[in-house]
Chains A and B, each alone.
Chain A
Amino acid sequence: MVPIQYYMMLSAALFCIGVFGILTRRNALMFLMSVELMLNAANINLVAFSFQNGNLTGQVFSLFTMALAAAEVAVGIGIILVLYRNFSDVDVTKATTMRW
């Protein structure tokens, strides 16, 4: 059996790649993909811990997370589409009509 630490390392690495993507990418679609990576890092954790703890709660919850990620992308793509129509770009730093 693969020790649980290996799964945690993998998911932590995936999570950090996601955070890095969010901090560096300007393209809104890339931003969405990075968020997906972070959610999937949570899924890896959930499934691995579910195996470790011997109950199925985590696996079932990871199914919910996947469905929610899909729903989130559906809304997100819609918003990115109207962003493109209004600003002719999907660069998240271009949309700056409001400033504090």
Chain B
Amino acid sequence: MLQQPFEISGLALLAPTLLLGVTALVLFLIDSIAPEESSSALLSGVTVTGSLAALAAAGAILVTTGGDPQDLYGGQLVVDGMSLFFTFIFTSVTALVALASYDYLEEFRYKAEFHSLTVLAATGMTLMASSNSLATAFISLELASLPSYALVAFLKNNRGSVEAGLKYFLIGALSSAVFAYGISLVYGVTGHLQFNQVAENLGAAGDGLVGVLGVGILMIIGGFAFKTASVPFHWWAPEAYEGAPAPVSAFLSSASKAAGFVIAFRVFTVAFPQATAVDLGIDWVLAFQVLALVTMTLGNFAAATQENVKRMLAYSSIGHAGYVLIALGALTGSADQALVLGAGMLHLVVYGFMNTGAFLFIALVEYWGVGRTFEDYNGLGKQAPVACVAMTVFLFSLAGLPIGGGFLSKIFLILAAANAATIGTYVLAFALVVNSALSLFYYSRVVKAMWIEDPVTDLEVGGYPTGLYAAIVVAAVVTVLLLPGLGLFSGVAFDAAASMIQ
């Protein structure tokens, strides 16, 4: 068999992934040269530079290729508008988290390991966005997950962090085994792992193997449900986000969730096209409609009963996973598929900024040593007005008020659900509106505590850390700018979705 010529263009197209990988190795190198005197500024600086370089590379590739799909390594990977769009989310969240970690990690040891694990997880996420075969999807999903387990358990003398890491790891290991078994069943029926070849051979299930294929697809949905923190594999999320260091919660709840969705988008539109699947009798759209409804309702109701702000945000993150699941639940035959997927992508990009910002505010509060319940936030607005204005922006944008991009992206999701025009999607659109109204209740409890209530004790915030403030302010500015800016962005998202589907 002839040796394949080495593809130079492949390396250039994978520049964002490679830059992130190299950044992780550089961090290890710095640490191995001077392990004891690791400077927070240097390590954060390298991470932010590396992520921004990857971001710039993704932008350059998007401009030069115009988002046309480029197959790499015999079709195992594909670089297209979709993968580059999500690379943009992952790298900006990584940069924000690294910037905030500059202050947060000041007192900790093992700073270099923290940063390199974050960047390694981001590398895995960018690979997830480009994977075009169930094999690369599984491997890159693990590359994103394994560093995350270690990151959640990073505070190894803190019982909460260790417990969170354990639960995250146990459910992650279980769901990856379920995912692998699902892949093996799909492979058994179709004989292929590459998405387009799986789609071509789905018909082979016609002769009595529909059950096997259906179980396989259900198990694959389980794998994605874990990564996106949706029902039924959502139990780890409140524990992991509450126990983990706040910058890690920010990273996981924004970037990791987006990574789970991009791979789900690609698998279900390319490998199991809705029309073929329905012909076989496997209506995965219905499964996603049920999951979306249950996930958003459960997340929001649970969030409304919380006393701990971080845990409230964790449940609200489950609720938002439910909103984005609409993008899969509305992929019915009658829907404009590019509009539906594009709406999900836009919500994820806005969510990437507003949710990262909200968790970084929690990081700031943890840095000050203020308590974790709503009452502990009383009167923070007078002490730290800038950060609290930013937090107000994040929370109202998460609720969907027209103060940040969250308003427009929810409108897009409702339009997408209405466009699909089936009873199920109308129910989803209605549930989205009801749940957003409910979410306003618990988000405004934080706002009320910060601005209106008087502090119970003499509250004195300890300093105004530069890195954390910078990250929060940048996230707030981008969240607000995305309200007018989403109009510009939406074209890119809809084109990317359209080019993946055809």
Q: Which residues of A contact B (CB under 8 A)?
A: 4, 8, 11, 15, 18, 22, 28, 31-32, 35, 38-39, 41-43, 45-46, 48-50, 52-53, 55, 57-58, 60-61, 64-65, 68, 71-72, 75-76, 78-80, 82-83, 85-87, 92, 95-98, 100
Contacts and interface: CB of A to CB of B under 8 A. Distances in A.
Contact of B165 (A38, A72, A79): A79
A34 to B, nearest CB: 9
Nearest to A100: B238
Given A57-B191, A75-B150, A79-B165, 19 more contacts: A38-B181, A39-B176, A41-B181, A42-B184, A46-B187, A48-B188, A50-B187, A53-B191, A55-B191, A65-B180, A68-B139, A72-B176, A79-B166, A95-B166, A97-B243, A98-B163, A98-B243, A98-B311, A100-B311
B174 interface: yes
A40 to B, nearest CB: 9
A57 B187 contact: yes
Contact of B181 (A42, A61, A64): A42
Contacts of B187: 45-46, 49-50, 53, 57-58, 61
B193 interface: yes
Nearest to A14: B181
Interface string B146-163: 100110010011111011
B180 A83 contact: no
A33 to B, nearest CB: 11
A72 to B, nearest CB: 6
A15 B150 CA distance: 27
Contacts of A45: 181, 184-185, 187-188
13 contacts: A38-B174, A39-B177, A45-B184, A46-B184, A50-B187, A57-B187, A65-B180, A68-B142, A79-B149, A82-B162, A83-B163, A97-B163, A98-B243
Given A61-B193, A79-B162, A71 B142 contact: yes
Contacts of B243: 97-98
B192 interface: yes
Given A57-B192, A64-B135, A75-B149, A49 B163 contact: no
A97 B153 CA distance: 14
Contacts of A35: 173-174, 177
A38 B181 CA distance: 8
Point out which of B142, B156, B181 has the most chain A C-beta atoms below 10 A from its C-beta. B181
Nearest to B172: A72
B251 interface: no
A46 B138 CA distance: 14
Contacts of B181: 11, 15, 38, 41-42, 45
A43 to B, nearest CB: 8
A22 B239 CA distance: 19
B135 A61 contact: yes
Nearest to B186: A49
A62 to B, nearest CB: 8
Given A39-B177, A42-B181, A55-B191, A28 B146 contact: no
A83 to B, nearest CB: 5
B169 interface: yes
A60 B135 CA distance: 9
A61 B176 CA distance: 14
Contacts of A60: 135
B164 interface: yes
Contacts of A100: 238, 302, 306, 311
B178 interface: yes
Contacts of A22: 174
Nearest to B201: A53
A75 B143 CA distance: 12
